[in-house]
């Protein structure tokens, strides 16, 4: 299974998020704009999209996931809190 990359581009904003730490099911990223994103890692099963084959893979949460399985904060202590909550 393909793992989440160490650097993820967030949408079309041009902001990158850099992996700070992770467990098997939770990851914490620091974005270029100083915000932390913490979330449960999503798994996407193998599929064909527009004729291209994709294997089973981990995927970064979407904007719709913020508030449900992911959080965004500028405070490292809050990010650490959510990291612990999502891992428990």
Is the pLDDT at 7 greater than 80? The verdict is yes
The pLDDT of residue 12: 74
* Residue spans per domain, the chain: 7-87
Contact 22, 73 (CB under 8 A): no
Contact 29, 17 (CB under 8 A): yes
What pLDDT, in 10s, does the model give residues 46-83?
999 999 999 999 999 998 999 999 999 999 999 999 99
Q: What is the pTM of this model?
A: 0.90
The pLDDT of residue 1: 87
Q: How far apart are CA 40 and CA 59, in angstroms?
A: 10
């Amino acid at each position: 299974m393909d793992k989440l990359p160490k650097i993820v581009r967030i949408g079309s904003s041009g902001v990158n998020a850099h992996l700070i730490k992770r467990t098997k099911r939770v990851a914490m990223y620091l974005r270029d704009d100083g915000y932390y994103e913490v979330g449960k890692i999503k798994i996407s099963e193998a599929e064909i999209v527009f004729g291209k084959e994709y294997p089973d893979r981990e995927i970064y949460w979407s904007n719709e996931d913020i508030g449900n399985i992911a959080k965004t904060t500028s405070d490292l202590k809050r990010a650490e809190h959510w990291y612990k909550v999502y891992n428990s």
